[in-house]
């Protein structure tokens, strides 16, 4: 069982219309069953983008990781209907491709496709767009989440999103995840560390 982990994330945001960009490096701490903490290690670029977008992303993730909202946003049959579309390959591994149809219009849910690893039955990739219709100011918003295997666990490796807004034009965001330090609970209760 995944007990806790730390990782370092790098957020890179760029707006094409106004030629503005910002970066932020964050240490993320996760503790079972879903508690998260973030520590900003460095920031650069547009102060407005950092405060209004990048900091807000961290706040939203913390909010979504707590209590009832965490349960309401998990990728489970309670929150989504699934339909098998076929098979595919992700990072050289066979996967089942499923359509994910949200059962509600929660702004944290999505509509799209999930690639489930055929051997581990873990999510290896997600492509989609928000389930809740975007605001009038946003024409389109899409994302791709990718996951990799770290020891016995599947954890995020990257997240790319592309948003087209009427006033601000195209904005891209990439989050790169790395430097994982994973602790798992063994059957006897002892914890082990894995790189």
HEC readout, the chain? CEEEEEEEEEEEEEECCCCEEEEEEEEEEEECCCEEEEEEEEEEECHHHHHHHHHHHHHHHHHHCCHHHHHHHCCCCCCEEEEEEEEEEECCEEEEEEEEEECCCCCCCEEEEEEEECCCCCEEEEEEEECCCCCCCEEEEEEEEEEEEECCEEEEEEEEEEEEECCCEEEEEEEEEEEEEEEEECCCCCEEEEC
Higher pLDDT: 105 or 61? It is 61
Confidence band for 190, pLDDT divided at 50, 70 and 90: very low
Whole-number Å distance between alpha carbons of 173 and 23:
10
Confidence band for 194, pLDDT divided at 50, 70 and 90: very low
Fold of 2-184: outer membrane lipoprotein receptor (LolB), chain A (2.50.20)
The pLDDT assigned to 67 comes to 78
The pLDDT assigned to 135 comes to 62
pLDDT, tens digit (0-9, with 9 covering 90-100), for 95-117: 999 999 999 878 889 999 999 99
For the entire predicted model, the pTM comes to 0.87
Instruction: Count how many Cα atoms sit within 13 Å of the Cα of residue 193 in the half-sphere of its side chain.
Output: 4
pLDDT, tens digit (0-9, with 9 covering 90-100), for 39-55: 999 999 999 889 989 99
Q: Is the pLDDT of residue 91 over 80?
A: yes
Confidence band for 136, pLDDT divided at 50, 70 and 90: low
The average pLDDT across 72-76 equals 92
- Asked whether the beta carbons of 31 and 10 are under 8 A apart, the reply is no
Q: What's the chain's average pLDDT?
A: 89
Higher pLDDT: 11 or 105? It is 11
- Cβ burial of 164 (10 Å; 0-12, 13-18, 19+) is middle
């Amino acid at each position: 069982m995944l007990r806790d982990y730390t990782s370092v994330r790098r957020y890179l945001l760029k707006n094409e219309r106004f030629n503005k960009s910002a970066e932020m490096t964050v240490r993320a701490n996760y503790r079972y069953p879903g508690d998260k903490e973030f520590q900003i290690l460095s920031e650069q670029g547009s102060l407005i983008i950092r405060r209004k977008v990048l900091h807000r992303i961290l706040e939203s993730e913390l909010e979504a990781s707590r209590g009832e909202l965490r349960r309401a946003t998990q990728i489970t049959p309670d929150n989504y209907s699934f339909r098998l579309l076929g098979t595919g390959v992700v990072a050289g591994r066979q996967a089942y491709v499923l359509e994910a149809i949200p059962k509600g219009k929660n702004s944290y849910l999505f509509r799209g496709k999930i690639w489930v690893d055929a051997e581990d039955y873990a999510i290896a990739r997600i492509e989609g767009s928000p389930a809740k219709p975007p605001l009038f100011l946003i024409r389109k918003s899409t994302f791709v989440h990718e996951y990799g295997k770290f020891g016995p666990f599947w954890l995020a490796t990257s997240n790319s999103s592309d948003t087209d807004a009427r006033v601000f034009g195209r904005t891209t965001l990439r989050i790169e995840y790395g430097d994982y330090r994973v602790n798992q609970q063994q059957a006897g209760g002892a914890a082990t560390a894995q790189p």
